[in-house]
Structure formats: C-alpha cells, structure tokens
Amino acid sequence: MKFPHALSIYLIGLSFATFATAEQPQVKLQPIYENLEIERPVLLVVPPDGSNRRFLVEQTGHIRILPADESASSAETFFDLTDRMQVEKDFEEGLLGLAFHPDYAKNGKFYLCYSKQGPKRTVVSEFQVAKDDPNAADPESERILMEIQQPEWNHNSGNLMFDLETGYLFISVGDGGLKNGVFMLPQKLTRWNGKVLRIDVNGRSPGREYAIPADNPFVGVPNACEEIWAYGLRNPWGISIDPETGLFWLADVGQDIFEEVNLIEKGGNYGWQLREGTIEQPGYRPLMEALGLGNKADPPRGTQFIEPVHTYPHGEGLSITGGFVYRGSAVPSLAGLYVFGDWKYGVLWGLDYDAAAKSVKGNHVLHKPENLAEPVVQPTGIYPDENGEVIVLGWRGKAFRLISAE
C-alpha cells in the first residue's frame, strides 16, 4: 500500500519517535584532543599493524597521526596531499578516503581517494609508507588505480574499506551531483557513479591497474562495469563491516524526504534515482516528463529494489553520517548497536538490529542537543579506536568519545 508523502513521513516519524523512547543507553559525549587544531576531520583509521596508531584524515588534504595522549597539543603529519589534490568547492570535494592494506605491516601500502579537476574526477590511488620512517608516507610512490568521472562537485562519496575476509577493496561512489539524480547514473551498469565497487588491488586484469574479483556480480555481463558490487545509491557517507555478523553497513544521504541506513548485498539495487527511502523519489517522474521520457519513468520490468533497514524523515535530520556496530567493552549498553548520526542536527543514535530475524528492534537516541540549531557536534565520521571504542569527529574541528554516563 502506498501512502501520500506527507502521511508516509508522519507515520515513519511516529515510528521513529517510538523507537527513540525505548530504554536508551546511558552515554554522553566527552571532548578529546581539545588542544589540537583540527580542520574538517572526516576519517579516523587504525592501521592493521599492531601499532595502535590513530590516523586522522582532514578533508583539506592532510593525514595526521594523533598522539596517544588525548590532551596533547601537536600531531605529526603523515602525509600532505595538498600539492596534488584539487577542489572546486571544498564542502564535498577533497581528501575523502583512506584504507590500509590488510598486510600493511609487511608491505606498507595504503589507499586514498581524493578530488582532481580538469576534468573533474575522483582519484583512487595506492601509496606506500616511507622506507626509513614509519610515520611518513612516500609521496613519490603513487600508483593510480582508477579515475572516476564526476559531473559536479557534490555527491562524491569516496569512502574506502577493505573486506578483511577476502582482502578486496570496497569503494563507495556518489551519483555525480545535482538534484533528483538528474544524470541518471546510479541505475546504469555502464557507469561507476552511484555504486559500491569491489576490486582486487593485489592483481591485474587486462587494461587495469587492479584485478576484477571473479565472484563480482556483473562479471561477464555485456556492457556492465565488472567492478560493481551494488548500485542505486545517492551519496554514501559511512561504510563498515561488522566483524561478528559480516553485515556490510552503509549510510546513504537523502535528498528532500529521507535519510537511510542500508545493508549492502552482492548485486543489490538500492533504488536511487527512482526511489528515496521507501517511496518513489518525488522529483524523478517530473524530471522524466520534462525530458519527454515520461513513458520511461517506471523501473524496467522485473526490477527489484532492496529496502533500507532504517530511515528517518527530514524533521529529524538532514544528512546522515554512518558509523559502525559497537563491539567494544567500555560501554556495555552500546553492545551490538549500530552507532550513527546526523550531520546537520548533531543527533546520535544506536540502531538495534536483529541479524537473525532481519529486523530492527529499536532505535535509541544516544545524544540530542538541547538546541538543534546549535549542535554540540556535527558528525562527519563515527569510528572505532584501537580498542573498538567510539570516537565521533566533528565538522568544526572537534573530536569526542562516547562514554558511559551510568
């Protein structure tokens, strides 16, 4: 049954409110690194080398190694990418992804995603650590793996993540920008935009700087990009794999109505640009009619969309920031919850998802500012530290821990 948009929003908002009032974990935000000058932090990554170092990525083009002392006033620079990164608008372009090779302790390889212009594109590259300094990158070691055309400055995405089980690299890519999916790329298997890609950085396929995993879903499909793992996405921001369940979590930033949390499946179609959240995307059909393509506004026969596991309407937030499933020990009340937030309003939630039943049991409000117009933190990233504890990065150069308030 389809509801009118306003009624649909009301019902989902009511459901959201019901979830939010269920026994909330008693947690609070604790500021950390208050003496450091941090500029637009977007990522915090701990390399798999046993060093327990925290690498902080600033969208401005710097990667810094945070000191173990959270009261310190300085942080060592691991890499300065500003000499090769180019941005038209720094709100969404810049340095957007970092992932360390699963064998980083032995090979020193890591991977970055950043913006270039002329033509506008997203670059995914391999680099290596300096031979004589484990706290510095070798700037001359770049090996460009792929360059992804970007029609506009927004909706780049750019999150990178290795699947530790297979060793393959996942790359999330936005839809190319503007409104209503106007470029109509997420549903096209001939383009990388609006997709999750999956590649093997350890091999080489003909004409590529990487190999195509043999079990990728579109291998051998005529005219399809064989790198595609999943499609129909708008602007993913926040990807993670829960090591306990193996579930692939992805937060997709919405347009006018919903923000959504997805579980990514092999070959899955998540609906954008035809759908937003759980309904038809309101701007798509008028767009097609304006282009004289109204008869093609419906999805192709047999198309199956995977619904998000959770949505929230724009009365509750305006831009989702994905996180991870908490498996730490310092805050027992967070155990097993998917921690995520909203960039605009600074609300943090813990989604209680039953993997066996494939259903959401509840969504707990972890933090909500007294004044939504003045959030304590505008989360750009929510990441585990070396012990699996929650660190929240803030757009305005702040960092916090989620700690127990009990």
Strands 133-149 and 157-162, sheet pairing: unpaired
C-alpha angle 190/280/303, rounded to 5°?
45
365 closest CA partner among 23, 13, 9: 23
**pLDDT tens, position by position, 157-213:** 999 999 999 999 999 999 999 999 999 999 999 999 999 999 999 999 999 999 999
248 closest CA partner among 261, 259, 260: 261
397's tokens: 């150069």
**pLDDT tens, position by position, 72-123:** 999 999 999 999 999 999 999 999 999 999 999 999 999 999 999 999 999 9
236 closest CA partner among 293, 196, 296, 200: 196
Contact status, residue 257 vs residue 297, Cβ threshold 8 Å: no
CATH architecture assigned to 38-234: 6 Propeller (2.120)
Q: Which residues of 181-196 are buried (b: 16+ CB within 10 A; e: fewer)?
A: bbbbbbbbbebbbbbb
227 closest CA partner among 308, 146, 307: 146
Q: State whether residue 114 is helix, strand or coil.
A: strand
Contact status, residue 350 vs residue 326, Cβ threshold 8 Å: yes
Q: Is cis: bond before 369, omega within 30 of 0?
A: no
Kindly give the confidence (pLDDT) of every residue in the chain, 406 residues in length, as a single tens digit, with 9 standing for 90 and above: 333 333 343 334 444 444 444 478 999 999 999 999 999 999 999 999 999 999 999 999 999 999 999 999 999 999 999 999 999 999 999 999 999 999 999 999 999 999 999 999 999 999 999 999 999 999 999 999 999 999 999 999 999 999 999 999 999 999 999 999 999 999 999 999 999 999 999 999 999 999 999 999 999 999 999 999 999 999 999 999 999 999 999 999 999 999 999 999 999 999 999 999 999 999 999 999 999 999 889 999 999 999 999 999 999 999 999 999 999 999 999 999 999 999 999 999 999 999 999 999 999 999 999 999 999 999 999 999 999 999 999 999 999 999 999 7
Residues of the chain with CATH 2.120.10.30: 38-234
CA 354 to mean position of chain CA atoms: 22
